[in-house]
Amino acid sequence: VQLQASGGGLVQAGGSLRLSCAASGRAFNSHAMGWFRQAPGKELEFVAAINWSGGSTVYGDSVKGRFTISRDYAKNTMYLQMNTLKPDDTAVYYCAAGLSPSKYSRVYNSWGQGTQVTVSS
């Protein structure tokens, strides 16, 4: 499955953004999907994941209660709604597809190109 992430931008602390990840092909319906992020000089960090049916989600500790992952099967698109953004959320955000909604990046076999999110203080 091919993935295209979008929706990043510059926002003030406390603001919101919604990221999108458009998937090509019918395989979207059978894949778990996830979001990861990488800030300059830091390792790739798990953000959120959702299983193939949309019935199960998991979040990284740093975003719990602020971010919401969802998916729209009619549009073959996954979303990440980000609220109450903090400067520490500044990073390049990547979407990924895999066989299970894992926090481990090695589980995912398809990756989007990334979208930059910058949160100013």
Q: Are 76 and 96 in contact (CB under 8 A)?
A: no
**Per-residue confidence in pLDDT tens, the chain, 121 aa:** 899 999 999 999 999 999 999 999 777 888 999 999 999 999 999 999 999 998 999 999 999 999 999 999 999 999 999 999 999 999 999 999 999 999 999 999 999 999 999 999 9
User: Which residues on adjacent β-strands are paired with residue 17?
Assistant: 82
Q: What is the pLDDT of residue 29?
A: 84
Residue 28 has φ and ψ, to the nearest 5°, of: -55, -40
Q: How far is CA 74 from CA 7, 25, 83, 107, in A?
A: 19, 12, 25, 25
Count Cβ atoms below 10 Å from residue 5 Cβ, excluding itself.
23
Q: What is the pLDDT of residue 30?
A: 87
Contacts of 104 by beta carbon, 8 Å cutoff, 6+ apart: 46
